[in-house]
Amino acid sequence: MSTPIETDICVIGGGSAGLSVAAGAVQMGARVVLIEKSRMGGDCLNTGCVPSKALLAAAHHAHALSRSAEFGIHTSPPTVNFAGVMAHVRDVIAEIAPHDSVERFERLGCTVITDHARFTGKNELVAGGQTVRARRFVIATGSRAAIPPIPGLGDVNYLTNETLFENTTCPDHLIIIGGGPIGIEMAQAHRRLGARVTVIEQGSILPKDDPDLVAVARHALEDDGISLYENAMAKRVEPHGPGCRITMTHKGAELTIDGSHLLVATGRSPNIADMGLDLAGVECAKGAITFDARLRTSNKKIFAIGDVTGGLQFTHMAAYDAGIVIRNALFRLPAKINYSAVPWVTFIDPEIAQVGLTENAARARHGNDIRVVTWDYAENDRARAERQTCGLIKVVTTASGRILGAGIAGHQAGELIGLWSLAISRKMKIGAVAGHIAPYPTLGEISKRVAGAWYTPSLFGKKTRKIVRLLLRLG
């Protein structure tokens, strides 16, 4: 064991959250040690957001070609080279990888250790044959695919998001257990690239989204030819030829489905095993590290951010959490998290985006003292021009007009939700959105129109007409 490394901040985990802290801290003058036992960039770059969105982009292109006749353009049906699609996915990863590489972070001034880290005390750990002592530690070890205890699952070669993108052969029939964002995105991507797809979900698909938005997604998925089994339970899995057979219960009956490939997409589990957290005085609950509003663990000199906390598992939370940690660890400011305006997007076609409270959540918190307004994509001229009229926007406010939440199901929903995230974070009222000028013709007009609809009952009501008639009589 060599001489211990003394540093200001030691970051454990080279995924989005850890890299954001390391890059920010070292460029502000802190000494930083960064430890990553596997691939730099973590899940997002290698097995999550980047490859999944690259695969979805290919699927969207294939689908666009298949419906070009709607625009008066006639082409032959597209031929999908699935191995070529996966080569595209790998190319996208390779293009981004240098930004997350060991070399870049060493150039920034970080000391990078590529090994597993294990705490040996409250202010030190060992990794790569080195002892590291730090003023502050940041645990950002991410998460892994959660594997449900389905009998027989271990007897088949199932896929997770960590192995899915290594497959270069289009599945004949892909069965997906799990109807959350990962399962639904991969269902549509593979269907549009030529596979038969079946999704088995024990509840409703996309359970965290507003049911009105989910209804749009459900219709689109079924229109693509995806078989959805909601409120279904996978009971057992067994090998069947080169593939597998799933037995499930659905609507009181027992069904069996044979597939060539099986994808398990039933959530994520934090990576906290064999880290010596007990020696560091870091408490855990329900398989995740506990933390306070400043992202500090029970050892106040150790922070936990990103998926390892078991909280909001979105890559865009990495930079936000990193900012909270840097303000606390470097500047000693008591910065606290506020997750009330965190947007999320499911990147299917049409996209599903949500921020703030859904209608059901708003009613649970505020009772009936809320107002709900909607506006259809079919009423938007840009959506008509692009034949993207499927969808709606839905906004929830207090009775006085303060915006509580917004959800969008439709083309480019992920790009449109940012306005509502800003509005909620700044505690704006609906009038601020109604009063802004949106360029024509854009999808952005949808936000202005739904905000304007909030005023329709009063603006065009009997009282307003009475006032207008009176004023007109006065000259």
Binding residues: 53, 141-143, 178-185, 201, 267, 307
Contact (CB, 8 A) for 402 and 375: no
CA dist 418 and 198 (Å) reads: 32
CA dist 307 and 457 (Å) reads: 44
Tell me if residue 412 falls in helix, strand or coil. Answer: coil
- 23 contacts: CB under 8 Å, gap ≥ 6: 105, 108
Phi, psi of 266 (to 5 degrees): -110, 30
Contact (CB, 8 A) for 237 and 431: no
Task: Output the six-digit token pair for 61.
Answer: 């292109």
- 335 contacts: CB under 8 Å, gap ≥ 6: 294, 323, 324, 327, 328
Phi, psi of 114 (to 5 degrees): -100, 85
One-letter amino acid for residue 93 of the chain: I
> Nearest to residue 175, comparing CAs of 247, 53, 256, 260?
260
Please report, for the chain, how many H helices and E strands are present, in that order. Answer: 16, 23
CA dist 59 and 195 (Å) reads: 11
**Beta-carbon neighbour count of residue 214 at 10 Å?**
22
Cα–Cα–Cα angle for 55, 382, 373, rounded to 5 degrees: 95
- 25 contacts: CB under 8 Å, gap ≥ 6: 8, 9, 11, 32, 326, 329, 330
Phi, psi of 403 (to 5 degrees): -75, 125
Numbered residues of the known binding site for FAD = 53, 141-143, 307
Contact (CB, 8 A) for 150 and 219: no
**Beta-carbon neighbour count of residue 145 at 10 Å?**
22
Task: Output the six-digit token pair for 75.
Answer: 């082409």
CA dist 392 and 446 (Å) reads: 9
Numbered residues of the known binding site for NAD(+) = 178-185, 201, 267
